[in-house]
């Protein structure tokens, strides 16, 4: 009796170990695949950011229990962007269906603009009004300007104190067309272009809608372009 029981134990133990090994293998695969999928997603999505990008991935809640997953789909929640402290969602596509959210921190080492002096509303920004400084763009607003060309020639919308990071939302692009200005109306179609003269009826930046009055008194609408040009749809 004792010998018989002793002979059966190794087989039962081996089967138990095999089951445990398979379960551990599935868990490890799922755990290593999720960070890999997330890392791949972050590398691709941060390629277009200005400066040198680095990021760190936070930990999931230790109480989070995730079923085994063979395919992951990372995504950004609506209204989010990979800048500074952010959150990335990850969906499991099978065999189980679940979604988890992972905190990430995106650091962007690069240059940004500071105001060299106080800027007042209506002022046109010149080269002497801004200076360049290096730092972590991820710790600044996403609208931060990184190149003097993004600011020079634009009009200050809201006043900015000296030594402050310069954001794009406090500037207005220079007028491409101003009210009362003589403009050239261009109508383009297949194989032809017609040019007329007119007077702008409102101010508009490049790409905005502007109305103009032709020499005959007709009012037309078009797209304002730099240089006093209005593109009129045919």
**Of 174, 170, 192, 194, nearest in space to 184 by CA:** 194
Residue range 197-217, pLDDT digits in tens: 999 999 998 899 999 999 899
Hunting for tokens 């002793």 — which residue is that? 6
Q: Are strands 209-214 and 182-189 parallel, antiparallel or unpaired?
A: unpaired
Residue range 178-196, pLDDT digits in tens: 999 999 999 988 888 899 9
For the whole model, what pTM was predicted? 0.63
> How many CB atoms are located within 10 Å of the residue 231 CB?
16
Query: By the 8 A CB rule, do 224 and 230 touch?
Result: yes
> How many CB atoms are located within 10 Å of the residue 106 CB?
21
Query: By the 8 A CB rule, do 141 and 123 touch?
Result: no
């Amino acid at each position: 009796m004792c010998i018989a029981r002793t002979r059966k134990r190794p087989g039962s133990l081996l089967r138990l170990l095999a089951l445990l090994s398979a379960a551990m293998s599935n868990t490890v695969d799922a755990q290593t695949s999720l960070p890999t999928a997330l890392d791949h997603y972050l590398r691709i999505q941060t390629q277009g950011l200005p400066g040198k990008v680095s990021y760190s991935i936070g930990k999931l809640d230790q109480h989070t229990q995730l079923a085994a997953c063979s395919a992951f789909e990372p995504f950004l929640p609506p209204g989010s962007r990979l800048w500074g402290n952010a959150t990335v969602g990850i969906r499991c596509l099978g065999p189980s269906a679940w979604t988890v959210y992972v905190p990430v921190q995106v650091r962007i080492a690069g240059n940004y603009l500071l105001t060299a002096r106080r800027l007042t509303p209506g002022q046109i920004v010149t080269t002497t009004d801004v200076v360049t400084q290096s730092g972590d763009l991820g710790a600044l607003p996403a609208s931060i300007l990184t190149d003097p060309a993004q600011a020079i020639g634009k009009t200050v919308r809201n006043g900015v104190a000296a030594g402050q990071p310069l954001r794009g939302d406090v500037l207005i692009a220079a007028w491409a067309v101003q009210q009362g200005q003589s403009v050239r109306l261009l109508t383009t179609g297949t194989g032809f272009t017609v040019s007329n003269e007119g007077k702008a009826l409102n101010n508009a930046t490049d790409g905005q809608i502007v109305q103009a009055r032709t020499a005959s008194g007709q009012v037309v609408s078009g797209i304002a372009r730099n240089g006093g040009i209005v593109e009129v749809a045919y």
